[in-house]
Chains A and B, each alone.
Chain A
Amino acid sequence: MTRDKKILRFAKNLVELSREHGVVTESRVAEVLNGMKRAELRRKLLVLKTYLYFIRRAVAQQTAVVSTPGALSPEALTAIETSFTQVYGRPISAVTTPEPSLIAGVRIRVGDDVYDASIAGRLERFAENVH
């Protein structure tokens, strides 16, 4: 990623333009990209790469990736979204991803934060705590 402060500031502004009610939406991102396509910018590729970096981080921060070995009930997903929205103070949407190595339970990742309630995680912590 570049260290050019102007490009960084411009990419962050583009990310803010990509939000709708505080949530990065696909439609707003498409509008931003169309606008950039029409505009004549110097170092457009570098701006796009920086924008992509910040968009990925923003999406990760508004998404709760729920890893689970099997299916998860819609109520559980709703509870997760509600709870994490309250915790982080921004809209959080939950998406599930299969992870058979967890055996049972869930592991939730929001940005850089990881919450683990799986059997595999508990067994790992148990093994780590044995001295």
Chain B
Amino acid sequence: MKALFVSLLIAFFVPIGLLAVSDAGTSDIVEMGQNPSGEESEAGSNALTEIATGFGVTWPNLIAQMINFSLVATVLYFFAVKPISRTLDERQQKIADGLQYAEEMKTQLAEAERERAAKMKEAAQDAQRILSESREQSKEMIEHKTQEAAAHAEAIIRKASEATELERQKMLSDVRKEVARLVVATTSTVLSRELSDEDKQTFSDAAAKELAGSAS
């Protein structure tokens, strides 16, 4: 901004200075008579003089204008250009900071992306490992459960077999008891009917003597 302002001043003063210098130079040359093309130079200076005169440009006015302009330029410089320049510098600094921040953020984003990718890769590896372990465990569990089921089935079959055997034994025992009961009942009936009183007394005497003998 400062450079722009200086460029404007130069662009404003240089033509005027050149005009003044050319005006003064032309007068000197005309007076010395050393100009090879004196007529042309004289015609040019006259034209400039006429223009300056036409526009009302005189040295005192010009100097006053220059002073005025310098004052205005100085005031403008200190109260307008400088704050604006400061503001622009601050904004430029902010923009630069923002750009730097954006760059840093971009770097951090790239770093984060890289870390994320690494973590994703690690997570995928972990997931694969867990999946493998889970498959192994499920396989082992299936085998274990299969063995348990087989053992359970064998136990059930064994128990059923034992229960069947017990039932069979019980049934045989019941049959034997029933047969024995029938035999006893039949024998009792037959003996009661067939044994005579003499036979009964003989048997009773023998039994009594047998008891007496065994008791002593």
B173 touching A68 by the CB < 8 A rule? Answer: no
**Set of chain A residues within 8 Å of B200, measured between Cβ atoms:** 69-70, 103-104
Chain A positions near chain B (C-beta within 8 angstroms): 66, 68-73, 75-77, 79-80, 82-84, 86-87, 103-106, 108, 115, 117-120, 123-124, 126-127, 130-131
**Set of chain A residues within 8 Å of B180, measured between Cβ atoms:** 126-127, 130
**Set of chain A residues within 8 Å of B177, measured between Cβ atoms:** 127, 130-131
B208 touching A104 by the CB < 8 A rule? Answer: no
- Distance between Cα atoms of A84 and B212 in the complex (Å): 7
Docked complex: B192-216 residues within 8 A CB-CB of A:
192, 195, 197, 199-201, 203-205, 207-213, 215-216
**Set of chain B residues within 8 Å of A66, measured between Cβ atoms:** 208
Q: How far is the CB of B63 from chain A (nearest CB, A)?
A: 154
A84 touching B204 by the CB < 8 A rule? Answer: no
**Set of chain B residues within 8 Å of A76, measured between Cβ atoms:** 204-205, 208-209, 212
- Distance between Cα atoms of A77 and B207 in the complex (Å): 11
A130 touching B215 by the CB < 8 A rule? Answer: no
Q: Chain B CB within 10 Å — which of A68, A75, A86 has the most?
A: A68
- Distance between Cα atoms of A103 and B186 in the complex (Å): 13
- Distance between Cα atoms of A79 and B183 in the complex (Å): 33
A108 touching B211 by the CB < 8 A rule? Answer: yes
